[in-house]
Amino acid sequence: MTSVTARTEREVTRGRTRRSLVRRETWISAVVLLLPAVVLLLLLRIIPTVTAMAEAVPLGGERSPWSNFAYIFSDPSFLNSVWVTLLFSVIVNPIQIALALALAVLLTKHIPAVGLWRTFILLPIAVPQAVSAIIWLVMLRPDGPLNGLASAIGLPTVPWLTEPGWALISIVIVCSWVGVGYWMTFLVTGIKEIPSSLYEASALDGANGWRQFWSITLPGLRRPLLFVLVADTVSNFLVFAPVRILTQGGPQGGTDLLMHNISERAYTLGDTQAASAATLVLVAIVIVVVTIQFRMLPGKED
């Protein structure tokens, strides 16, 4: 009895050692493989976030820890910037996604030279943001080519960058010029993954293109659409270069998106505390909006 027990015990121990060896190896390789990502995450995300929080909430001084937030929320230029950013977001996201979707559907149909069109639509992505903004700066001048064209065909000229409302629309146009093609590629891939048999069967049942779009394409695109919606929203909250180059936040603060407002505070005025506080507000807004979007478009079926 005792010997048997002893042997089983020994076997169990040996097995345990082997298993723990295997487990340790798994751990080591996991750590080695994850280390670069974790280090980068720490360096590029976690540490800056903590630094921003420490900057924004000064502890141990004479001032209240919340004084930086009190300051920015009492500053009309910051409140205007929050308003402009939300307004921009409400306008630009639906436009970009609708256009990207329309183009994706169009370019997955059998139209001639489809590759060529896709390339043309994607081309703006290859142009650096700063370069494209400079080209637009000339295009949108009051006496620039766009207005020249408008007056040549008898249309009224537009105060593109010189009137607050139109300036925001100009930023929407410039961002969409770059963005639509990019987001379109995700939707094209999504459409290609929808089985063509569904379209064939529905065609036999007499469904027209419009019906197919609503009943097959759109439901089939739910996951890529959710991704595009969230990623596009986030990227549009972080728009900076076009504003910096085209309008510097003007006229009259009409295009002063939060990213630009923050950068002005930090790097022109040298007020990094208020800039950090404003950054945290921007992050909070993005998190709230993205959470709402996730709730509104649940991918439950998957």
Partner 1 sequence: MRGPRTLSAAIVLVAGVAVTGCQASGSEEVTLTFLNPHAGAYEPVAEAFEQAHPGVSIELQSVPFEQMVEQTQARLSSGDTSIDIVSVDPPRLANMVQQGFLTEETDHLPEMEANVSQAAISSVTVDDRQWAYPLWTSDNFLFYNRTLLEEAGLPVPGPTSADRLTWEEVVDMSRSLVDAGDAQYGIGMDQVDRYYALQPLLESMGAGPGLEGPDGLTPAVDTEEWERFGQWYGGLYADGLAPRGVDPAQMVDLFRAGHSAFLLGGASAIGRIADGDFPGEWGIAPHPYFADGPIVTPTDSWAIGVSATSEHQEIARDFVQFATLDPQGAQLASSVNTLPPVQHEAFDEYVGYIQELAPEQTAHFGELFQEDTEHYARHRPTSAGYVQFESEMNNAFSDIRNGADPRRVLGSAQEALERQLDRLRELAAEAEGNER
The residues of the shown chain that bind partner 1, judged by CB under 8 A, are: 58, 61-63, 71, 75-77, 137, 140-144, 159-163, 248-252, 263-264, 266-274
Give the residue carrying structure tokens 């079926």: 301
199-226 burial: b if 16+ Cβ within 10 Å, else e: eeeeeeeebeeeebeeebbeebbbebbb
Q: Which residues contact 172 (CB under 8 A, 6 or more apart)?
A: 88, 91, 92, 95
Cβ contact 285:82 at 8 Å: yes
Whose Cβ is closer to partner 1: residue 36's or residue 76's? Answer: 76
CB-wise, 159 or 220, nearer to partner 1? 159
CB burial class (10 A; 0-12, 13-18, 19+) of residue 227? middle
Q: What does the DSSP 8-state code read for residue 253?
A: T
CB of 261 to partner 1, least distance (A): 12
Q: Which is nearer to partner 1, 144 or 220 (CB)?
A: 144
Q: How far is the CB of 277 from partner 1 (least distance, A)?
A: 12
| Closer residue to partner 1 in complex, CB, 142/209 | 142
**Which of 125/173 has CB closer to partner 1?**
173
Quote the least distance from Cβ 110 to partner 1, whole Å. 44
What is the closest distance, in whole angstroms, from the C-beta atom of residue 91 to partner 1 in the complex? Answer: 21
The minimum distance between CB 251 and partner 1, in angstroms, equals 5
Q: Minimum Å distance from CB 39 to partner 1?
A: 21
Please give the C-alpha separations between residue 46 and each of 164, 235, 281, in angstroms, as whole numbers: 37, 20, 17
CA–CA distance, 271 with 265 (Å, rounded to integer): 5
Q: Give min distance, CB of 295 to partner 1, in A.
A: 38
Q: Which residues contact 184 (CB under 8 A, 6 or more apart)?
A: 100, 101, 103, 104, 107, 121, 122
Cβ-based nearer residue to partner 1, 71 or 177: 71
Nearest CB to partner 1, comparing residues 118 and 265:
265
d(CA 42, CA 49): 10
Angle at CA 224, nearest 5°, toward 220 and 226? 105
